[in-house]
A and B are shown apart, each in its own frame.
Chain A
Amino acid sequence: MTTATAFPRPFAPGRFRARRLCALGIVLLLVLWLVPFLGIVLTSVRSIYDITSGNFWGWPRDPQMLANYREVLLGTPLGRYMLNSLLIAGVSTLGVLVLGTLCGFVLARYRFPGATLMFALFVAGNFVPYQVIMIPVRNLMVTLGLYDSMAALILFHLAFQTGFAVLFMRNFIGSLPDELFQAARAEGAGTLQTLRFVVLPLTRPALAALAILLFTFIWNDYFWAIVLTFSDGAKPVTAGLANLKGVFFSNWHLIAAATVVVAVPPVAVFLLLQRHFIGGLTMGAVKG
């Protein structure tokens, strides 16, 4: 008999009942774990009648498959907020990918005085509490005339997320086999050629993972959204949702519909590309 070397010990082959019981337990746990989210999805198709009569958890009595969604998308600026967020998150993500790859490449492959300090600053900057840079960043955007514009948010995310991207890309590029770079040098490739023909093709999966993470981080940002914008034309969807929560007050069917709409893009990205997402997250946070 071989000794299991995995922890926890996998089921012995053939123990179907134990296996099935375990699976059942996990499914129950999962449903319990996701009850908050499932409940809000269910509420988003409830009628006002359910809400006023307190039927939050029973079967919807007059399900409104689309009415609530139509109302929040057409009757409020939610659609506009969605567009703003898409633009802010999309543009910032692309920019951060470029800046982060460039810095990460140099920090991983060139030794120069102060390189370690620079890398440490990038990593530490990632964890600087937002409040510590809030006032100066806000002033900077006012001075630049960008306050209350999407450009302010894009510029901020571009700068801030570059820290995370550098951490991520430096570690990834540093883990590529050194022979590749020696070979490139032997062929007489310069910095730009190495970047173009060695680094870029090999980092494509890492870039995909990073892009997903960045998009989610930026889409979900709330603090900078309310610090740097206030008008509907510039406001991202997180700040918009917080507003709508106040406006709708206790019309939970509408709040729920708006909440689901806001959650759809990150959840969709996650479900479609979960392997990249999880791989990226653990790589960014743990490996050093």
Chain B
Amino acid sequence: MSETPRAPALQRAPARGRVGKRTRRIAWLAPALLMLPGAALFAVVVLSSAVQSLWISLHDWDGFGGMRWVGLGNYAELWRDPAFRVSLRNNLVWFGMFMLAPPLGLALALATSQPIAGFRTMRSLFYLPLVLSSVTVGVIFSWIYVPDYGLLAQIWELWGGVAPAPLSSERWVTPAIALAALWPQVAFAMVLYMAGLTTLDAEQIGAARIEGARGWSLLWHVVLPQLRPVTLVAFAIAALGSLNSFDMVSVMTKGGPYGSSSVLAWQMFEQSISSYRMGYGAAIATVILLLSSAFITLYVRRMVRP
């Protein structure tokens, strides 16, 4: 789309005499009116809310009464809060595991990209986890992790091991939840790479093959560089997904056992909704925003660049 000639500027609308002036004003008015409902709604609900949240984070507020200014007090408290540190560390685990999504997605895309009859349908069945709600995925994996009878326990027993109960183990609960969340994430990366593979430059690949490149070296030196934009988006979206890890935690453990599976998004919700500490919750939200902002910027720059 970057090749499309630019739309003519509005100023170039016919401007001759009185009639021209009127036409020009109307030419400006119609597009503005068309934009108005969407832009206004988005500005009020999304953008102004984000700014308000920053403001709230500087206050002590239970959500009902008056707000009391505390400056950076909430942030100072966060710094000392052991629960916050647990959440932060768990988010790091999520982040690390989500970084597996792009390579796994690429592997699935490559494995299924052979032009064999019937593959098209099969390939799209791989995308299925993508359309499942995170609640659905959370419920499904809660059931896979059921002690003794669940799939995981059964696999363990095949090897003669003692069946683990990942959701009640403080050590394993976060990797277990993140693993469940990885399922749809890999499917998404696969969709992106599948589209990317169709845009490869055939000439370069043909030339590289004549030079004798094949297999891994062809993938690494010729194909991956061409897929760079896709890879960037896939990693950015995975990173943002790892910070937005509320749903699964809420469905599978509610942060338990003993807060050990909490993540920033969950802690924020719990502080605000269950403990009526809106200011403190808003401060956690700010931290999430700061951590996301690098990836958001990366993505926006890619989308907006002409």
Docked-complex contact B304 and A123, CB < 8 angstroms = yes
**Quick check: is B160 within 8 A (CB to CB) of the other chain?**
no
Which residues of A170-201 are within 8 A (CB) of B?
A: 171, 174-175, 177-178, 181, 190-192, 195
Contacts of B72 in A (CB 8 A): none
Contacts of B197 in A (CB 8 A): 7
- Nearest residue, chain A, Cβ from B289: A132
Docked-complex contact A128 and B50, CB < 8 angstroms = yes
Given contacts A110-B10, A267-B128, contact A127 B240 (CB under 8 A): yes
A-B contact count (CB 8 A): 329
Given contacts A5-B206, A267-B128, A288-B305, contact A131 B45 (CB under 8 A): no
- Shortest 7 CB-CB contacts between residues of A and residues of B: A159-B45, A99-B38, A5-B202, A220-B133, A136-B49, A133-B49, A191-B30
Contacts of A37 in B (CB 8 A): 128-129, 132, 140
Contacts of B144 in A (CB 8 A): 36, 39
Docked-complex contact A23 and B5, CB < 8 angstroms = no
Docked-complex contact A132 and B205, CB < 8 angstroms = no
Docked-complex contact B192 and A43, CB < 8 angstroms = no
* Interface 9-residue window, one of B74-82, B92-100, B119-127, B170-178: B119-127
Contacts of B260 in A (CB 8 A): none
Measured CB to CB, the closest approach of chain B to A246, in angstroms, equals 10
**Quick check: is B296 within 8 A (CB to CB) of the other chain?**
yes
Docked-complex contact B53 and A132, CB < 8 angstroms = yes
Docked-complex contact B288 and A129, CB < 8 angstroms = yes
Q: How many residues of A contact B (CB 8 A)?
A: 114
Given contacts A136-B56, A137-B49, contact A192 B247 (CB under 8 A): no
Given contacts A40-B143, A56-B151, contact A102 B38 (CB under 8 A): yes
Give the distance in Å from the alpha carbon of A87 to the alpha carbon of B210 in the complex.
Answer: 58
Docked-complex contact B27 and A191, CB < 8 angstroms = yes
Other A-B pairs beyond A125-B42, A175-B4, 17, CB < 8 Å: A3-B206, A6-B200, A6-B202, A35-B151, A37-B128, A108-B7, A112-B9, A119-B304, A123-B303, A128-B296, A133-B53, A136-B48, A191-B27, A220-B136, A222-B134, A255-B143, A256-B143
Measured CB to CB, the closest approach of chain A to B54, in angstroms, equals 8
Docked-complex contact A132 and B296, CB < 8 angstroms = no
Docked-complex contact A122 and B42, CB < 8 angstroms = yes
Give the distance in Å from the alpha carbon of A267 to the alpha carbon of B2 in the complex.
Answer: 34
Give the distance in Å from the alpha carbon of A123 to the alpha carbon of B108 in the complex.
Answer: 29
Docked-complex contact A270 and B34, CB < 8 angstroms = no
Measured CB to CB, the closest approach of chain B to A264, in angstroms, equals 10
Contacts of A267 in B (CB 8 A): 128, 131-132
Measured CB to CB, the closest approach of chain A to B23, in angstroms, equals 9
Docked-complex contact B302 and A288, CB < 8 angstroms = yes
Q: CB within 8 Å of A: which residues of B? A: 1-2, 4-10, 26-27, 30-32, 34-35, 37-39, 41-42, 44-50, 52-53, 56, 63, 108, 110-116, 118-119, 122, 124-144, 146, 148-151, 154, 183, 188, 191-192, 194-197, 200, 202-203, 205-206, 209-210, 214, 218-219, 222-223, 229-230, 233, 237, 240, 243-244, 246-247, 250-251, 264-265, 268-269, 272-273, 278, 281-282, 284-286, 288-289, 292, 295-296, 299-300, 302-305
Docked-complex contact B50 and A23, CB < 8 angstroms = no
Docked-complex contact A219 and B38, CB < 8 angstroms = no
- Nearest residue, chain B, Cβ from A275: B124
Measured CB to CB, the closest approach of chain B to A231, in angstroms, equals 16
Residue among A10, A106, A132, A135 with the most chain B CB within 10 A?
A132
Give the distance in Å from the alpha carbon of A132 to the alpha carbon of B110 in the complex.
Answer: 37
Which residues of A92-140 are within 8 A (CB) of B?
A: 99-100, 102-103, 105-112, 116, 118-125, 127-137, 139-140
**Quick check: is A241 within 8 A (CB to CB) of the other chain?**
yes
Docked-complex contact B299 and A123, CB < 8 angstroms = yes
Docked-complex contact A262 and B136, CB < 8 angstroms = yes
Give the distance in Å from the alpha carbon of A40 to the alpha carbon of B150 in the complex.
Answer: 11
Given contacts A26-B122, A30-B126, contact A133 B50 (CB under 8 A): yes
Measured CB to CB, the closest approach of chain B to A274, in angstroms, equals 5
Docked-complex contact B9 and A111, CB < 8 angstroms = yes
Contacts of A34 in B (CB 8 A): 125, 128
Contacts of A220 in B (CB 8 A): 131-136
Contacts of B192 in A (CB 8 A): 282, 285-286
